[in-house]
Structure 1
Amino acid sequence: MSIIPSIHPSTPDETAPPSAHSTAEIDTATASFSPRLYNADLAPVTHRTWRVYDIFAMWMQDIHSITVYTFAASLFFMGLNGIQVFIALAVSVVIIWGLMNLSGLAGQRTGVPFPVLARSSFGVWGANVPAMIRATIAVIYYGILTYLGSTGLQIALLQLSYNTFEPMTKPSFLGLSALGWLCFALMWIIQLAVVRRGMEAIRKFQDWAGPAVWIVMFVLMIWMIIKAGGNISFNLSPHQASGWGLTYSMIAAIALTVSFFATFLVNFADFGRLTPDKRTVVRGNFFGLPVNFILFAIVSVTVTSASITVFGEAITDPVALIQRTDSTTAILIGAMVFVVATIGINIVADFISCAYDFANLAPRRINFFRGGVLAAVLSVLPLPWHLYNNPDSIAYFVGGLGAFLGPLFGVLMTDYWIIKRGHVDVDALYDDAPTGKYHFLRGFNPRALVAVTAATIPAAILALVPYFSAWAPFSWVIGAALAAVVHLALSWRQRAPKQVAA
């Protein structure tokens, strides 16, 4: 059975790219949209310019990062050997590919961003609930990744002129040195400059930035293999799991990898909407996920394994490895490429989501860029360097990701593909009248909210209470499954009739 749902014949208002209509037709349709629900950035997309390579490059931006590198290498320390890690990654990324297609195709068919699509499931006002959950997580991540990128800038500046910048490395304010604040501010400004011109500028940026990281990673891998004299062991775990422990570790590794992509699974409609057809989404995701992720994981694990031979310890931070080279040029190039990579993933994974989510709160006052600026400002408030350097806070934050995002995905996908059979009245998504199709009860769909609540509470307990630590890796799966079951049970009578082809 295919993991990609078949595309039923659809009504013109749902699937046809708005650019296929005349300007007069578009103006007539948008004239009836409520300004409380509509602005130009939240409108159905009018130009679908993203092709297979653009989706592939977007995934390169997301995957070619320090966080993914560290995550892939960390699976070895769950008691798995090299072959077992690769099997777990391969299985999980195929699952992710199928789930991501579900989310992306919903965006491609409707042409609207995630918070607007969520109105069909949660209500025109209730959609702000999942949007704000997603935005809160994105804001925290945005701050952490901005800080991580700023450390690359610090390395580059110190390498260029140590005597000039070293005095600025002493702690000075709120736990960050003067040089740290300078580099953090530079990263903050550079990211806003990239996104100032909107999604088309982001597409062009990622199309060259993603491959640039690949080049550096391959060079780093070759250099490490040569330094290790080819003496590389992929059995990094100090204690090899066996029996039930091995089975648990394999399943947990698969579940954790799926959870690692929990943020994108919720709002991938933001990108799917920009593609012209189903084939583009599916093929772009295939090359960007199964192919790209497994290759990057192989490189990450190889470099980490070689670091044990070369340096006597497993180093899971590529920037730290580059710092140990004897070449100033290599350190500068490596540091700057990873700065670019961090900018790319932060924009793609966090800024875009926040921009749409905050715009959805008040479309008349907040557009795409203002929503992103609001997120950038808020990202500084938690002092992200403290979060990143505190293992306990990071553990709880990552654990909470699956618990809160899994239920959202479960409701959104079952509602779109099963309850509504893949058909949404796009115009009704911008209708705030009490008689509107997605107004439900005062703008909220109580069935969807009950399903999310019923699933989030047990998932959060499993993820965050130490007593249930053995179940923590499965919080996303459990949350998504519970939400899907509850929502289907509550909403089955509202299921759309099957559409018969003419």
Structure 2
Amino acid sequence: MNASSRNGSRQDIEQAVASEATYGSLPLLKHERVWGSADFSWVTISLAIATWAFLTGGSTVLLVGFTEGISAMLIGNSVGLAVMVLGSVVLSQRLGVEQYRALKSVFGVVGVGIVVFTVVLLVEMGWTSLLGVMFGRAFTEISNQAFGSNFAPYGPIVTVFALAAILLGWFVLSRGPVTISKLNRYVAPGLIVIVVLMMVLLMSQHSWSDLIEASPVAPFENDQLNFMMAVEFNIGAGLSWWPVMGTLARLTRKPKAALWPAYGGIFLGTVVAQIVGMAAGLLLGEADPTAWMVPLGGPILGALTLLFVGFANVTSMASIAYSTVLAVKQSSGGVLDRLRWPMLCAAFLVLPAILCFFPAFMYEQFMTFVVVSGAFITPICGVIIADYFIVRRQRVNLRALYASGSEDPMRFTGGVNIAALAAVVVSAIFYLWIYNPITLETQPFFEYATASIPTIATGMVTYLGLNYFLYVRHGLGGYREPDTFAINRKK
């Protein structure tokens, strides 16, 4: 074999390895981490100022007024995002490993599959379909304004545009994270401008006193209960980033480039957009920005603004789906390895496309969806934090994440960490006992402690006890083994 053939073969191997790192489960090398702080900040801000942030703010006014709503948003997002970052970003970024491969150290390889196919897949499909429906409603409103049509807000045309959004999302997603990053460099600044513009237009037509004095739409008689429900709702909104953020964070070059954009970028973008959505909900009586942007901005400016926000939902959809498709591929046990990346993405988007045929259901159950998702994500994060920070002390055997069979120190019980899954189930039941988002029944201490905070504590304590009894004291789970791969690299 001559030199040129060897060089060509080596380049082919390097490209294959890089592709597997980006679209598979191999750790990313330093030069393969494509995002700096600015890149990841634009990604997180763009994700945060999607239409759902306006809708979250508008939904908050069902319970509280403007000043109480701001407090609920600040408290809820601060808590939810802090737990989310500790439960996803730190672990994946440090290892450069796809989030659900890294979580083998917590749940076991089979346990991760159970989490992905029962919680992550359903939650992210719900968010993806919701983004599609929002896109559909936005373009339906634009069509009504531009052509004088009278399409219904939940009619068939909404579904048609929603399916078009999913097709666009697939096109962006199939081209990988670099394309997503490039688009977000333009989308995120534009969204910031739009948010400021909408608030200026809103306050130019209403006084500050009107906003402060506006009453919540459908509160309970108990003001403290209203406030804590609003806080809990916003905690759930913050936690909802957990399924995607770890995988995105591994593409960053340094820990600081992941930690602060993941927390600060989402916090800033979410709260600012939520405040605008909340103000519009109180003053205009509409929580959905697709309904109030055109009346507020006028037929031209409002339509152009809605057009931009609609397309921003597509980049958000692509970012969500990238992490979820990787999770599904990683958790399939090799079954999906032969499918090309574009085909995997298309397969994931099938169920969100079906859900787009029920746009009214997706909107009317939005608050319930967010809180129910939080009921399961909260204990998952609690278990991860307990395992990574307390039991493993931030040291994970990288080689063990890829081991299998009898040589796998993280095989636990048949590939399942029974302690982790049991702690999640027990804590989720505990959450739903404290606060049932369907019936809205609560326990008395919910008014002072929320449901998420006691659930995190319960999940951590339950896991630490069960895990020690089942695995740690027997030397199982790879908790005491040094990372020989890391030691050899240092040598």
Query: Scaled by the length of structure 1, what TM-score is found?
Result: 0.80
CA deviation profile, 1:407-449 (whole Å, cap 9, x unmatched) = 2112122111211111112222122223302212222222212
Whole-angstrom CA distance in 1 between matches of 2:207 and 2:466:
61
Asked if 1:86 corresponds to 2:59, the answer is: no
Q: CA deviation at 1:123?
A: 1.0
Whole-angstrom CA distance in 2 between matches of 1:209 and 1:38:
26
Q: In the alignment, which residue of structure 2 is the partner of 1:236? A: 214
Unaligned runs of 5+ in 2: 1-8, 474-478
Where in structure 2 are the equivalents of 1:212-251 lying within 5 Å?
212-228=190-206, 232-238=210-216, 245-251=222-228
SS at match of 1:146: helix
Q: CA deviation at 1:359?
A: 0.8
2:370 corresponds, among 398, 417, 429, to 398
Q: In the alignment, which residue of structure 2 is the partner of 1:207? A: 185
Q: CA deviation at 1:486?
A: 0.9
Asked if 1:129 corresponds to 2:100, the answer is: no
Whole-angstrom CA distance in 2 between matches of 1:453 and 1:142:
25
Q: In the alignment, which residue of structure 2 is the partner of 1:376? A: 349
Asked if 1:436 corresponds to 2:408, the answer is: yes
Q: In the alignment, which residue of structure 2 is the partner of 1:4? A: none
Which amino acid is the alignment partner of residue 450 of structure 1? A
SS at match of 1:224: helix
Q: In the alignment, which residue of structure 2 is the partner of 1:19? A: none
Where in structure 2 are the equivalents of 1:119-158 lying within 5 Å?
119-132=104-117, 133-158=119-144
Change over 3 Å in CA distance of 1:117–1:235 after alignment to 2: farther
Q: CA deviation at 1:367?
A: 5.4
Asked if 1:358 corresponds to 2:328, the answer is: yes
Q: In the alignment, which residue of structure 2 is the partner of 1:190? A: 168
Q: CA deviation at 1:138?
A: 0.7
Contact 2:66 2:212 in 1 (8 A): yes
Unaligned runs of 5+ in 1: 1-22, 32-36
Contact 2:80 2:237 in 1 (8 A): no
Asked if 1:42 corresponds to 2:19, the answer is: no
SS at match of 2:401: helix
Contact 2:49 2:269 in 1 (8 A): no
Change over 3 Å in CA distance of 1:345–1:236 after alignment to 2: farther
2:312 corresponds, among 335, 341, 348, to 341
SS at match of 2:300: helix
Whole-angstrom CA distance in 1 between matches of 2:339 and 2:424:
27
Change over 3 Å in CA distance of 1:69–1:431 after alignment to 2: same
SS at match of 2:407: coil
Where in structure 2 are the equivalents of 1:481-492 lying within 5 Å?
481-492=457-468
Change over 3 Å in CA distance of 1:498–1:75 after alignment to 2: farther
Contact 2:431 2:455 in 1 (8 A): yes
Change over 3 Å in CA distance of 1:326–1:424 after alignment to 2: closer
Q: CA deviation at 1:376?
A: 0.6
Q: In the alignment, which residue of structure 2 is the partner of 1:17? A: none
Which amino acid is the alignment partner of residue 54 of structure 2? Y
Q: CA deviation at 1:154?
A: 2.1
Whole-angstrom CA distance in 2 between matches of 1:317 and 1:239:
14
CA deviation profile, 1:228-274 (whole Å, cap 9, x unmatched) = 266543232259999x9444444443332111122312442112211
Whole-angstrom CA distance in 1 between matches of 2:418 and 2:96:
26
Whole-angstrom CA distance in 1 between matches of 2:453 and 2:338:
37
Q: CA deviation at 1:134?
A: 0.6
Q: CA deviation at 1:108?
A: 0.7
Q: In the alignment, which residue of structure 2 is the partner of 1:458? A: 430
Which amino acid is the alignment partner of residue 111 of structure 1? G
Q: In the alignment, which residue of structure 2 is the partner of 1:287? A: 264
Q: CA RMSD in A?
A: 3.6
Change over 3 Å in CA distance of 1:92–1:144 after alignment to 2: closer
Query: Scaled by the length of structure 2, what TM-score is found?
Result: 0.81
Asked if 1:408 corresponds to 2:380, the answer is: yes
Change over 3 Å in CA distance of 1:268–1:300 after alignment to 2: same
Whole-angstrom CA distance in 2 between matches of 1:398 and 1:286:
19
Where in structure 2 are the equivalents of 1:421-432 lying within 5 Å?
421-432=393-404
1:323 corresponds, among 294, 299, 315, to 294
Q: CA deviation at 1:90?
A: 2.4
Q: CA deviation at 1:202?
A: 0.9
* Percentage of pairs with the same residue: 16
Whole-angstrom CA distance in 2 between matches of 1:381 and 1:455:
31
Which amino acid is the alignment partner of residue 306 of structure 2? A
Whole-angstrom CA distance in 2 between matches of 1:374 and 1:129:
19
Contact 1:139 1:376 in 2 (8 A): yes
Whole-angstrom CA distance in 2 between matches of 1:433 and 1:294:
47
Which amino acid is the alignment partner of residue 88 of structure 1? A
Whole-angstrom CA distance in 1 between matches of 2:226 and 2:378:
21
Paired residue total? 455
Whole-angstrom CA distance in 2 between matches of 1:106 and 1:356:
16
Which amino acid is the alignment partner of residue 357 of structure 1? A
Q: CA deviation at 1:397?
A: 2.8
Whole-angstrom CA distance in 1 between matches of 2:152 and 2:72:
43
Which amino acid is the alignment partner of residue 206 of structure 1? N
Which amino acid is the alignment partner of residue 425 of structure 1? N
Q: In the alignment, which residue of structure 2 is the partner of 1:12? A: none
Which amino acid is the alignment partner of residue 138 of structure 2? G
Change over 3 Å in CA distance of 1:326–1:370 after alignment to 2: closer
Which amino acid is the alignment partner of residue 412 of structure 2? F
Contact 1:456 1:479 in 2 (8 A): yes
Q: In the alignment, which residue of structure 2 is the partner of 1:300? A: 277
Contact 1:463 1:469 in 2 (8 A): yes
Asked if 1:385 corresponds to 2:355, the answer is: no
CA deviation profile, 1:175-225 (whole Å, cap 9, x unmatched) = 852x33432232121111111210111111122112212212222222222
User: Where has structure 1 moved over 6 Å in runs of 4 or more?
Assistant: 239-242
> Does 477-486 or 425-434 show the bigger shift?
477-486
Where in structure 2 are the equivalents of 1:30-69 lying within 5 Å?
40-46=23-29, 47-69=32-54
Change over 3 Å in CA distance of 1:215–1:390 after alignment to 2: closer
1:116 corresponds, among 83, 101, 105, to 101
SS at match of 1:378: helix
> Does 416-425 or 68-77 show the bigger shift?
68-77
Contact 1:396 1:464 in 2 (8 A): yes
